[in-house]
């Protein structure tokens, strides 16, 4: 791995108290490339865990190529392993779909806690004529940099809504999309990330923007074609001038491990995370959207140690995760 962050983690409420002379436990964390959203989130929760309590752990956050490699590496990383991934990638691995080969070890993957989803924002001007997706007909639109989540989901959504041939998609770097919208050179653009997106907050402060909301029928069609996506609501007030809740699509993600991790460690990591969630939200408001009600998005059974924590905390756990 090219980039690594070493974080000494102090964990509270261990299931079995560790004597002061116990050997330090190292946990390897894989979460994508150093400039990726999930890598940044992994650094944040790793640093937060360091403030959580009394046991002695070390988390080493290392670069990876993303969810696919993170899942494929479960047989390659020695010792305790924690990784971020989209639940759909884990399902893909368990089915043995390309690029994965069938591997019974994928069935040993278990969930710990959710992390902020990558949410699709479809942005248009509030002082223009575009109020819903149908109004995009005849307009130019930047769906995101080629190969990105925003581009893929925008194309799927436009197909589901039957407007793919009516909208002129522009192959342009997303970095210039805000300026193009401000200058009225385009009808709108798509951007993906954990809300609130700082760049979109800044744009909304200087330019009146609207976020397009998806009808339930379109969400159902997109989900039928792409089960990696889920419906999500961006609450009103998330961005300046956005006065109504916006329903859109998001790629959920979580922190996962395998049954090779001890129950005590999984319990402590999970408890430490939830004890620090509010502190995380003060540093990055995207964490404010992570609530116990989001557990269902993990899509994978919980590690027994994590399940113990949720039961002790009185947090309802969906039957599919037990």
Task: Convert the pLDDT of each residue in 275-297 to its tens digit.
Answer: 999 999 999 999 999 999 999 99
The model's confidence at residue 112, banded by pLDDT at 50, 70 and 90, is very high
Average pLDDT in the 225-243 region?
A: 93
What residues have CB less than 8 Å from 300, skipping those under 6 apart?
87, 90, 109, 110, 111, 254, 256, 321
Res 245 pLDDT > 50: yes
* CATH of 4-116+253-321 among 3.40.630.30, 3.40.190.10, 3.50.50.60, 3.40.50.1000: 3.40.190.10
What does the pLDDT read at residue 18? 37
Please state the rounded mean pLDDT for residues 8-29: 50
Give the integer Cα–Cα distance in Å for 272 and 139.
48
pTM for this prediction: 0.86
Q: pLDDT confidence of 303, banded at 50, 70, 90?
A: very high
Structure tokens at 312: 């002790």
| Residue 299's pLDDT band (cuts 50, 70, 90) | very high
Res 132 pLDDT > 90: yes
Structure tokens at 26: 């190292």
Q: What pLDDT sits at residue 226? A: 86
Which of the listed CATH numbers 1.10.357.10, 2.40.50.140, 3.40.190.10, 3.40.1260.10 matches domain 118-251?
3.40.190.10
């Amino acid at each position: 791995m090219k980039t690594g962050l070493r974080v000494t983690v102090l964990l509270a409420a261990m299931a079995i108290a560790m004597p002061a002379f116990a050997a330090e436990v190292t946990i390897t964390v894989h979460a994508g490339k150093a400039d990726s959203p999930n890598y940044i989130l992994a650094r944040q929760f790793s640093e937060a865990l360091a403030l959580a309590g009394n046991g002695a752990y070390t988390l080493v956050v290392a670069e990876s190529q993303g969810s696919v490699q993170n899942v494929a590496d479960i047989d390659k990383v020695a010792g305790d392993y924690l990784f971020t991934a989209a639940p759909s990638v884990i399902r893909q691995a368990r089915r043995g779909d390309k690029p994965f080969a069938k591997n019974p070890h994928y069935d040993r993957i278990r969930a710990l806690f959710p992390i902020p989803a990558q949410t699709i924002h479809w942005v248009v001007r509030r002082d223009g004529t575009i109020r819903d997706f149908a109004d995009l007909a005849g307009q130019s639109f930047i769906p995101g940099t080629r190969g990105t989540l925003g581009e893929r989901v925008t194309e799927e959504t436009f197909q589901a809504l039957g407007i793919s041939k009516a909208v002129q998609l522009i192959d342009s770097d997303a970095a210039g999309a805000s300026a193009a919208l401000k200058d009225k050179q385009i009808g709108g653009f798509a951007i993906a990330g954990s809300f609130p997106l700082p760049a979109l907050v800044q744009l909304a402060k200087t330019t009146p923007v609207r976020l397009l909301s998806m009808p339930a029928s379109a969400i159902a069609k997109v989900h039928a074609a792409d089960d990696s996506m889920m419906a999500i609501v961006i609450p009103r007030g998330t961005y300046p001038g956005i006065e109504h809740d916006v329903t859109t699509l998001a790629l959920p993600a979580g922190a996962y491990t395998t049954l090779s991790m001890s129950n005590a460690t999984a319990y402590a990591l999970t408890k430490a995370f939830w004890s620090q969630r509010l502190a995380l939200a003060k540093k990055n408001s995207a964490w404010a959207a992570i609530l116990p009600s989001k557990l269902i998005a993990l899509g994978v059974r919980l590690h027994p140690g994590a399940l113990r924590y949720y039961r002790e905390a009185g947090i309802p756990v969906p039957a599919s995760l037990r």
